[in-house]
Structure 1
Amino acid sequence: MKRISPAAWRFIYYGLAVVLAVFTYFYALDSAHIPKNGDEFPYTHITRLTAESGHLLPLQSQLHGMRNTKPPLLFWQGILSTHWGAQWTWWNLRYPSVIYTLLTALLVFLLAHRLAGERRSEGVDPVETGFIAALTYLAFFSTYRFGRPFLVNPAEIFWFFLPFFTLLYWRTQAFDSRLIVPLLLGVEVGMGLLYKSFALVAPVSLALSLWYLHQRQYRWSAFILKDALKVAITVIVALALFGLWFVFDPDPAAVWREFIVGENAGKFGAQGGSYLGHLLWGGSSVWALLLGYPMNAGLLAFPVAALGWVAYRRPLSDAEKLLWIWMGVLFVVFCVPSQRSARYLLEAMPVLAVLCALSWQRISRWAFVASLLLCGGVLVLLAFLSWRLQQAMPGEDLYSAGYWLLLLMTATLLLLGIFHARTTRLVTNVVVLLVMLSLAAFLRPFDGIAGNFSAGAQRYAAGKEVWVPCDFRAVDEGYRFILPGAKIHGYFAGAPLSVGELASRYDLFAVQLPLQTPCDGCKIIGERLEIRGRHSPDELKRILAGEVFEQLFVKELLIESSGVSQVAAKEEGCR
């Protein structure tokens, strides 16, 4: 029997790792508790109302000052994937996001494979480098957090990475093309603008100009004579595509007022203080943005930080210089608005994954060990919280043997990577993916029987007005999946209200209480387990002081009141 070569074993290993990554991204996609951004709720709200209107335009919303908050392509995507709202589930809203993310990972694989192929003489394996790049991109926590929910990020990252992929993958022919490639780039960028904003044409056009200029070895005359028109064609086509929104929307004045002025120009204001003060100090400073790339990498923050040192210490290839230019342009451009966030650097994360893969063997092993130790800390926390939660709910079988086996398997692979030097780089991405899968498995009970109201409670609430707590705009959209058929309204949960105060205002309402707190005298229709995602500064201090379990987990009661005394109009708290 012919022995399988080490190269074949590696190929099998990476193939299984890709299967794990795909499974991780689709697992629990219908969950209300996946890592995400709060913008998913307003986008879901706009999509639902627009679908109910029967027209693609104008966009519909009941949120104050939040209708044309993004171009229409995301909302049309949601309308299409839910069949005009007929299949209204988180899964239907989100699966196109995962497809976009996996397509981006495929582009990352292809580009890393192509660039590594130019270094075969150095002993670099192009196939392995491609796999490392794709797995690294999928192991970034920002990819997991923003690449699965119903957000603009998965699509915008794909469409804004595609032009740079096109130029670098077909480098000579693409850079020399006078018309076809510039037109193609314009369509690619235009699709990104229709998902995100016309403002993204600024960093994209600047980066493209610098790429063409670099290709001309920084000879300005050659760039102006031969390449400036190409960039102009790309920009004109992209903006023309974006301009179709104004052409087809029945109310273009509202688009201008709400999106161009309100959503975009508003980000250049001082935001409650001096522009220079916000630039240099605080959570929205340029220094906070500088940490954006390692922060986006999540558990891979240490290898990403080490990559900068590696790039500084050695000569870069032409392709690597171009990739660093795109990352630098995004950072510089997004230093200008007064709102600065690591989220604005997401478009560069595919490029960062390629750069990591190309320098994977040069990055210090201790950077990977640090990431594995960080993964170990997360596993310990998950195990502790799982045990505490099971202890607090002895009557519920929250976590199966399979869950604990997953934690054990992840820990075993993690220890192998720490103590066996030859496997450290090999297993790091897989361990990170397994930790993210463990996180999803830990949260799964909150979507099962324990995390949902009973079928009887759902039938009781169907057709009735139910008031639910809101700590972010449009959070009530999530309750439409929990209480299907109910008429959902939101009350503002920022100011704590007692059960008695809520009972005097609402006939049927949901309220969150600590797990061990009784509700004496309450007519409880239903009860479910919930995990809190937003905390006040005081609650965050308590978490840091050790009250992790007490501040994270609550029970949510669905209560009917017979003593409503306030008959005045009730204000919506989610709008």
Structure 2
Amino acid sequence: MSAKPMGTGTAEPRADGAQRALDTRRAGLWFGALAVLLLALSAARPLSVPDEGRYAEVSRWMLVSGDWLVPRLNGLPFFHKPPLTHWLQAASLAVFGVHPWAVRLPGVLLGLLMVWFGFIVVRQLLGAAVAGRAAFMLGASGAMLIGAPYVNHDMGVATWISVAIWSFARAFSFPDRQAPHAGWACLGFLACALGVLTKGLIGVALPALVMLAWVSWTRQWRRVWRLPWVRGLVVFFGVALPWFVVIGRQFPGALAYLFGVQQFSRYLGTGFNNAQPWWFYGVGIALLLAPWSVFAGLEGWARLRTRRAMTARTGKDPWVALCWIWLAVILLFFSIPQSKLIGYIFPALPPLAVLAALGWHRLMDGRRTARAWLAALALLPVLFSVGLTVAYPHVQRREGMARDVALELRTRLAPGDVVLVTGDYPFDLPFVARLRSPLVVVQDWPRLRAKEGDTWRRVLLDAGGFEPALAAEVLRTPDALQQEAHVPGRWLLAPNRPGPRDPPIADAWRLVDRGRAWTLYRSSPLPASERPVATR
């Protein structure tokens, strides 16, 4: 006989077959509408810089190079993150072509997975009404509408973390079993492995911290030892480990760089960009889930007033406690480092949405105008996201978008041509222009090597350390501008507003196109006997 899940005993009475069918149809229509809206937002704007241009190009380069093992930026090994996001994006580009919406599609699908999987599990733990409202609030939030169609790793790792936590929670939700449900637990181990392949150790560390805190609160340690550890660890290491083993053998020092520099040092260090105060994520997540986060606050206040905040361990309360613990652990974990980016807090969105749904139930259920208010409030994040999507390209013009000159270059570029860039790095240009070879980046690299901080220049210098021969070809010093000016098939990009240390553009470079942020030049060929001798 199947066990009855914890938390369903106090749920609303089971609807008849017709009502269940109607609820399923409504959920399907809502989910379909969310998918269409996310796809429309994905297609409505060009790539932003630097993040979307950088990560989209890493994925595109897998197709160009045929190397699906090593993520590469400008042809150089890029070991800031593991490869799962780039595998998914490269596969989408292979199927649908090199378009911004295609590289955004995996993020959209992962965001939809976060909403759908949470709905499936929360429906069993807290009832269909809470699950439906939580899914609606999470989908109709700025975090989902802006974060899912954004090309980086944040939505992906947040989805796998949420799938892992919900899976382990579901495994523990069968009180008549002495051991947690093995199938759900193994799904949790698989999600942790996919989280590690997406963004490293937080893919397993955060689910582990949340579940350890919750198990301690609910005093279920005896059941922890009965998890299917052997099968689960076989699944986890079988999925997560092979890529790291291969990369560690092929590139000595790559794992120390990925885990040591890009994860531990970035988490504990003080020399990285984006320093923010400790309260940054508390305010940030409230805005990301606005206006629904107000109802989560009301739910917390009501529980404190009635002295029932996570005190009972029967019925629904263990799962409400899980949501509060989950939210607190994620907020605390990411508030410790000085370097903070808003997308890091995405793993805290699912529990906050559930708490907001509970707060809505407490305040609005039974009111005739509840459904109208729900629809009206949902319009706020939708209109904000649409407005931001439309306005964002105009804002980004000031940040060095090279799309206009990239489109011009794409029509003129011939096989074998080489593109040089000086002064700055046009993150979106290789993707938009569909370059088949790396950019030759002209900087005073010997000087920068000793003093450059957490910038794109340091990223390329670090990447070049793993393949010095290729780095010598694509990271050139300023004398390359003079040497290449008379070689056929050479193109040069320079910022419209050069910096004080940028090398001058030789007169031999002919102006081709001046965009909003970048200027495109072409070389003036000389006979081979008269060309300057190249030096490295």
Fold similarity call, TM over 0.5: yes
Tell me the equivalent position of 1:94: 104
Tell me the equivalent position of 1:371: none
Structure 1 residue 242 corresponds to structure 2 residue 260: no
Q: Which structure 2 residues correspond to residues 49-128 of structure 1 after superposition, within 5 A?
A: 49-62=61-74, 67-83=78-94, 87-117=97-127, 126-127=128-129
Alpha-carbon distance change, 89 to 33 in structure 1, aligned in 2, over 3 angstroms: closer
Deviations 1:439-478 (A, max 9, x none): 334558999xxx846977642355555556876xxx6341
Tell me the equivalent position of 1:478: 428
Structure 1 residue 425 corresponds to structure 2 residue 359: no
Tell me the equivalent position of 2:493: 509
Structure 1 residue 460 corresponds to structure 2 residue 412: yes
Structure 1 residue 296 corresponds to structure 2 residue 295: no
Residue 102 of structure 1: CA displacement?
0.9
Tell me the equivalent position of 2:359: 359
Residue 349 of structure 1: CA displacement?
0.8
In 2, distance between residues paired with 1:470 and 1:30?
A: 30
The counterpart of 2:196, out of the listed 169, 190, 193, is: 193
Tell me the equivalent position of 2:478: none
Q: Report which structure shows greater RCO (CA 8 Å, sep ≥6).
A: 2
- In structure 2, stretches of 5+ residues that fail to align are 1-17, 310-316, 397-402, 444-454, 457-480, 486-490, 498-508
Residue 252 of structure 1: CA displacement?
5.5
8 Å CA contact retained: 2:49, 2:427 = no
Aligned residues: 444
TM-score of the two chains, using structure 2 as the length reference = 0.67
In 2, distance between residues paired with 1:570 and 1:438?
A: 51
In 1, distance between residues paired with 2:193 and 2:238?
A: 8
8 Å CA contact retained: 1:508, 1:558 = yes
Tell me the equivalent position of 2:344: 344
Bigger CA drift: 252-261 or 457-466? 457-466
8 Å CA contact retained: 1:141, 1:297 = yes
Q: Which amino acid aligns with 2:68?
A: L
SS in 2 for 1:83: helix
Residue 238 of structure 1: CA displacement?
3.0
TM-score of the two chains, using structure 1 as the length reference = 0.63
8 Å CA contact retained: 1:466, 1:486 = no
8 Å CA contact retained: 2:145, 2:382 = no
Structure 1 residue 326 corresponds to structure 2 residue 326: yes
8 Å CA contact retained: 1:284, 1:339 = yes
In 1, distance between residues paired with 2:214 and 2:380?
A: 36
In 2, distance between residues paired with 1:258 and 1:193?
A: 16
In 2, distance between residues paired with 1:193 and 1:454?
A: 35
Alpha-carbon distance change, 459 to 54 in structure 1, aligned in 2, over 3 angstroms: closer
SS in 2 for 1:177: coil
In 2, distance between residues paired with 1:76 and 1:251?
A: 19
Residue 26 of structure 1: CA displacement?
0.4
Deviations 1:504-554 (A, max 9, x none): 9976436558xxxxxxxx9874566xxxxxxxxxxxxxxxxxxxxxxxxx5
Alpha-carbon distance change, 433 to 510 in structure 1, aligned in 2, over 3 angstroms: same
Tell me the equivalent position of 2:59: 47
Tell me the equivalent position of 1:230: 227
In 1, distance between residues paired with 2:436 and 2:494?
A: 12
Q: Which structure 2 residues correspond to residues 22-37 of structure 1 after superposition, within 5 A?
A: 22-30=35-43, 33=46
- In structure 1, stretches of 5+ residues that fail to align are 118-125, 366-419, 495-502, 514-521, 529-553
SS in 1 for 2:72: coil
8 Å CA contact retained: 1:306, 1:364 = no
Residue 558 of structure 1: CA displacement?
4.5
Q: Which structure 2 residues correspond to residues 169-568 of structure 1 after superposition, within 5 A?
A: 169=170, 171-172=173-174, 176-177=179-180, 179-214=182-217, 217-218=218-219, 223=221, 225-228=222-225, 230=227, 234=232, 237-239=235-237, 241-249=239-247, 250-251=249-250, 253-272=252-271, 283-297=275-289, 300=292, 302-303=294-295, 305-314=297-306, 315-316=308-309, 317-362=317-362, 423-442=372-391, 452=404, 458-461=410-413, 464-466=417-419, 476-484=426-434, 508-509=492-493, 511-512=495-496, 525-526=512-513, 558=520
8 Å CA contact retained: 2:331, 2:345 = yes
Tell me the equivalent position of 1:140: 141
Deviations 1:172-214 (A, max 9, x none): 1688337544333212211111111124422221222233334
Alpha-carbon distance change, 299 to 100 in structure 1, aligned in 2, over 3 angstroms: same
Alpha-carbon distance change, 511 to 186 in structure 1, aligned in 2, over 3 angstroms: same
Q: Which structure 2 residues correspond to residues 11-30 of structure 1 after superposition, within 5 A?
A: 18-30=31-43
8 Å CA contact retained: 1:21, 1:433 = no
Residue 95 of structure 1: CA displacement?
0.9
Deviations 1:318-340 (A, max 9, x none): 21111111112222333444434
8 Å CA contact retained: 2:107, 2:151 = yes
In 1, distance between residues paired with 2:140 and 2:422?
A: 34
In 2, distance between residues paired with 1:524 and 1:12?
A: 59
SS in 2 for 1:476: coil
Q: Which amino acid aligns with 1:509?
A: L
SS in 1 for 2:145: helix
Alpha-carbon distance change, 236 to 525 in structure 1, aligned in 2, over 3 angstroms: same
In 2, distance between residues paired with 1:558 and 1:76?
A: 32
8 Å CA contact retained: 1:50, 1:59 = yes
8 Å CA contact retained: 1:140, 1:298 = yes
Q: Which amino acid aligns with 1:21?
A: L
RMSD (Å) for aligned C-alpha atoms: 4.8
In 1, distance between residues paired with 2:182 and 2:407?
A: 60
8 Å CA contact retained: 1:310, 1:363 = no
8 Å CA contact retained: 1:294, 1:305 = no
Tell me the equivalent position of 1:150: 151
In 2, distance between residues paired with 1:354 and 1:213?
A: 21
Residue 161 of structure 1: CA displacement?
1.1
In 2, distance between residues paired with 1:17 and 1:469?
A: 48
Q: Which amino acid aligns with 1:244?
A: P
In 1, distance between residues paired with 2:52 and 2:71?
A: 16
